[in-house]
Amino acid sequence: MIDEKVIVSGREVIGQYLKEMRKEKGISIYRIEKETGVTRQIINSIEDGSRAYTIDSFLKYTSSIGAYLFFGDKEGKKDAPLDGDHILKEQERNDPFK
């Protein structure tokens, strides 16, 4: 089982990185809030890692600042991007009604 301290620390590191990226791009919290509907409180939670947030809010936030996430195993296999366009394409491709 993963220690809660590890999870909180991970949120803080990711949030700090995303906040720096947002600031470097000159994107305001107000702009993200207006474009995505993600509240200022949730944006602050993402950026400071202070509390948990939904994956929906996280994906809206990262898409709004142009951040792309990649996941893979320890050997670097299965490196898949996670962004809005990729998710929509995968949903479409895997749609059981098509």
DSSP structure string for 21-89 = HHHHTT--HHHHHHHH---HHHHHHHHH--S---HHHHHHHHHHHT--EEE--TTS-S-EEESHHHHHH
pLDDT at 91 over 80: no
What the chain holds in terms of domains, given with CATH numbers, is 1-67 (1.10.260.40), 69-98 (no CATH)
- What was the pLDDT predicted at 61? 95
- What was the pLDDT predicted at 51? 86
- What was the pLDDT predicted at 83? 59
71 pairs with which residues across the strands? 80
- What was the pLDDT predicted at 7? 74
